[in-house]
A and B are shown apart, each in its own frame.
Chain A
Amino acid sequence: MAGNIAAGPLSGIRPALPLLAPAYLWLTLAIFLPLSAMAFFSFMTDLPLSGKDWSFTIRNYAAFFSSGLYVTLLWSSLRLGLEVTLWCALIGFPAAYVLAKVLKGRSREAIFLLVILPFWSNGLVRIFSWAMVLREGGILDVVLNAILPFKISVDLMYSYPAVIIGLVHSYVPYMVLTCYLTLQAIDDSLIEAARSLGASRLQVLRRLIIPLAMPGLIAGAVLIFVPVVGSFMEPRILGGRTGTFYGTVIEDQFVAVFNWPLGAALSFILLAVVLVILAAASPVLRRAT
C-alpha cells in the first residue's frame, strides 16, 4: 500500500512538507540557533557582554586536555552513566516484563501509573525527597531502626550511592516504557512454542525474550545514558562533595564562575564523546536489534 502511494504522482517529500515544517522550524529556533550560539561562544575568550573585549581562541578546548581534572571527571561521568543505565535495565526490564506479560486490565493500569509517576513530579522535589529519606537520621534510618533489633545508621546522603539512587529513580521509567513496548509486541504463542519445545523459563528468557526485547533495551539505554553523563542536579544535591562530575563542572562555568566559553567548550566535548561512543557501539547495537 505504502509503496503504491510513494510511486504515485504525489511522490517525494513535497506533499509531506506541511507536516514536517512546524517541527523543523521549532527545532531550528529552539535547538539549532542556541546551539550555534554556544558553539560560537566556545571559541571566544570572554562573553561579548557590556562592552568587554573579546577575541577568538581555542584556549577553552585546550583547557580540557591540558588539565587532567576534566578528563578524570569525564571518565567518572561516563562510569556513572554506565552504572545508572545498568541499574535501570536490571530494575526496569523485569518490571516491564510483568507489566507486559503478567498483569492484565486494571491492575496493569494501576502499576503503570506508579511507574510513570516520577515523570510527573518536579525533578527538584523528587531529589529533595530523596535527601530527606537518605540523610543521617532520615526516613530510611528511622524505618530501618524500627524494623531491625540493633542500632543502624546508613547515612547514604552525600555519597556516590545516593547519586546513583536519585538518578536511577529519575530515569528508570524510560527503561520500563521502552522495554514494555517491545515486550508487549512479543506474541504469547512464541513463548508457548519455546516452552513446548522443552525450553526452561531461563532459556526462554535468554534465547527468545531478551533478543526480541533488545531494541527496547537499547533505546532505553541510549535515552538514559546520554542525559545521565551530563547530569548535574542529582550529583550536586545528593552527592555533596563527592558529587563532582563533568556535568556539575559545566554547570559551575555557567552559573557560578560565569565562564560561559569554557562551559560551552566542555559541553561540546561531551557531545562529541557521546556521539563517538554511540557511533562506535552502533554496529553492535544494529546487530542486536
Chain B
Amino acid sequence: MADVQVESVSRSFGAHKALDDVSIAFPDGGFYALLGPSGSGKTTLLRLIAGFDFPDSGRIIIGREGVERVPVEKRRIGMVFQNYALFPNMSVADNVAFGLSVRGESKASIAREVRQALDLVQLGKLGERRPHQLSGGQRQRVALARAIVTKPRVLLLDEPLSALDKALRVDMQVELKRIQREIGITTIFVTHDQEEALTMSDRIGILRDGRLVEEGPPEDIYNSPKSEFSATFLGDANILRGDATGDGIRLSDGTAIVASGGVANATGGKASCAVRPERIKIATATASPLAAEGNMLRGRVSKRIFAGNSSTYFVDRMGEVIKVHVQNSGATKIEEGNDVVLHWSPESTVLISAA
C-alpha cells in the first residue's frame, strides 16, 4: 500500500488543456473519489496515475517513487475498467490469474491466491465459467478480483458501477467499500455520479475544465461548498444571488439573507448563498406562523413532484425557482398554486463568493 501524490500535473491534447496544474494528495488506504462532469479531466487524471498516458509537466509519486515516466506495466497498480475488460478467451480463474502468471509465479501459489481473491469477491464457485456466462455484477466482481490479486499499491476504478442497474449498483457500492476496507488499499475512484461519490468515498475532489475546484471529506463539501459549481454539482442546491453584506447577502428586493458558514467576504461586492433543498421548511402562507428560523422568503408553489419517500416543491419567487425537499411523513401536502412561506436557519446557509 502506498499514498499517491499528484503535484502540479498538466496535460494537453492539442490546444485542449485536459488537466491544468492539478495537485492532489491521495492518502494511504483512503477511498478518494474524483468527481466531475464529462470533459472535466477526471479520466485523464486517472490514466496519468495508471501510466497509460504521461503528463506534460508535474510529478506523480506513488509511495516515495516518482512514476510520471514509468509505463503502466511497471507501476504495480490495479485497475477496474468501466466495461470490466475481462479477457473473453480465458475462464474467470484464468482472468484473475493473468497478473500473477505474467509475473512468473508458481502454479501452486497462483491457484491459492486466485481462490482467495475469488472468495473475497464471493465468486468462489464460478472459476471455471467464461466471462460471457456471467451477469454484469459478477463480471464486476471478477474485474475487481483480477485487479487486487496482484497486491497493487493503488487501486484505480474508472466508473466501475455505471454499467449496472440501480439496485445492483447500490449492492456493489456496499460490497466495493467492504472489500476496500478489508484489504486497506489506497483507492482512487472516478465517477460522474455525485451520490456514488458521497456514499463511498472518504475524500472527494471535484474537477471542472481540467482544474481541481474543491476537495475534502464528503460532508464538509456538501455542508459548506466553496463555489456555486460544487454546491450544485455535489447534491442539489438553491443559489441566491445579491449584494454582499458581510454576514450574508441582500437580494434585489431588499430581503436580507443571513449565513453563518462559508467564506468571509467584505460588503460591497456581489455574493451568492447556497441552501440545500432539504434544509428549507415550507408552510402555507395562511397557516399560523412557525418559529422564525432566521431566513424567510415568500413564494407560490408552481409544481410539486412526488418521489415516494419525499416530495419536491418548486416555489416560484419573483421569477426564480426555489426547490424544497419534504419527507413524506404524513404531513398535509400543499397544492400547486398556493402561496407559501419558506424559512431556514443561517446555519443552513452557505455564503459563497460570486461565480
Contact = CB atoms under 8 A, between A and B. Distances in A.
Given A196-B78, A197-B102, A212 B73 contact: no
B314 interface: no
A211 B91 CA distance: 13
B88 interface: yes
Contacts of A193: 79, 81, 85-87, 146
B72 A192 contact: yes
B83 A198 contact: no
Instruction: Tell me the interface secondary structure of chain B in the complex.
Output: loop
Given A189-B81, A189-B83, A199-B102, A211 B89 contact: yes
Interface in B127-175: 146-147, 150
Contacts of B73: 195-200
A203 B81 contact: no
B50 interface: yes
A196 B83 contact: no
Interface residues of A, number: 17
Given A187-B85, A190-B87, A193-B87, A207 B72 contact: no
A208 interface: yes
A194 interface: yes
Interface in A71-99: none
B83 to A, nearest CB: 6
A190 B102 contact: no
B54 interface: no
Interface string B86-101: 1111000000001100
B324 interface: no
A198 B103 contact: yes
B85 A189 contact: yes
A135 to B, nearest CB: 47
Given A192-B72, A197-B150, A208 B99 contact: no
B353 to A, nearest CB: 40
Q: Which of A187, A190, A211, A212 has the most CB of B within 10 A?
A: A190
20 contacts: A189-B81, A192-B72, A192-B85, A193-B79, A193-B81, A193-B85, A193-B86, A194-B87, A194-B102, A195-B52, A195-B71, A195-B72, A196-B78, A197-B73, A197-B78, A197-B98, A198-B102, A199-B99, A207-B98, A207-B102
Q: Which 7 A-B pairs have the closest CB atoms?
A: A197-B99, A193-B85, A189-B85, A196-B79, A199-B102, A211-B89, A195-B73
